[in-house]
Amino acid sequence: MKAVWSIGLCMFLLTACLREHDNMEDCRADLFFKMQAVPYVFEGREFAGYRSYYFFVEQLDLFLFDETAITSSYRYDYAYCRQHPVIPVASETPPRWYLFVANLYDPKELNWTFREGELQAWFSIVDHEEPPVLLAATSRVEASKDSVSVGLQMMVSRLEIQLTNPPAWVTGIEVTVRDIAATVSTDFILGGTTHITKQIGFDNQGIGDYWFGVNTFPTYRDKTAYLSIGMQGGNEVTPIEIEDQRLHLIPGVITRLSIEFETDEKMIISIEIDGKWEIIDGGNIIIGMNGY
């Protein structure tokens, strides 16, 4: 009879575990990371939008630390994140710190150290290439808790470019963003200065709007970004140089720029602020062929 009661008790506990956490993996977990929605903002708007964390994640890395080093790490793909608003982790060594990083494809982009017992982590621009959509969260794990809320924050800024009615010969653009931070930490401390360059090709179908996106690191509070945008295709033109006091790049903020061709060599450049397009330099910008 005691054996029957023991088996029945074990089955009850197992059923309770499955009912609460949905799978056997959860039953072995020591920690449950509750993933919060991620905020993002369009330039000039006061209120943030929110998306489920998996919307921004193709690859998610979790690093657990003691006081000095990584004790274990885990990697999750989009499909896993899509199905897990709470991520269960079985840790052999009770961690003191955690670090979540989304979309870390090059290990050289991430650095970390301990300063006065506190975990410090930061990201770097590598080889002047566009960074991925890096998101991160780091904090101390309280020994008394087995459930931890995680709020991923975007480390990058986003520049979106609307190209309207490009000439037929334009089949791509090259975007260079200068005067941005070379490093950004998880507590948004910036370091150094660098630039990134990205080439984007597209299928020019004639009159219409074409959208392009570039991820970039933030700018300093007292400095704005300097943009150089070159048109690529059958002709060569002098790159468009854009410097404007409204080109402050902020983590998690989307800045939109419009380049509208009135003729093959005449365009209007505007920046979107709070849902309204404001012309840069007060009017039209003329571009000329190289050598003119």
- The model carries a pTM of 0.83
| pLDDT tens digits along 176-233 | 999 999 999 999 999 999 999 999 999 999 999 999 999 999 999 999 999 999 999 8
CA atoms within 13 A on the CB side of 70: 13
Laid out side by side, the sheet with 118-124 consists of 110-115, 118-124, 183-185, 190-191
Q: With contact defined as beta carbons under 8 Å apart, do 54 and 76 qualify?
A: no
The closest of 256, 239, 238 to 247, measured between CA atoms, is 256
Give per-residue pLDDT as tens, 66-114. Answer: 988 999 999 999 999 999 999 999 877 788 999 999 999 999 999 999 9
- Residue 188 makes CB contacts below 8 A (sequence gap 6+) with 218, 251
What is the Cα–Cα distance from 83 to 24, expressed in whole angstroms? 15
pLDDT at 20: 38
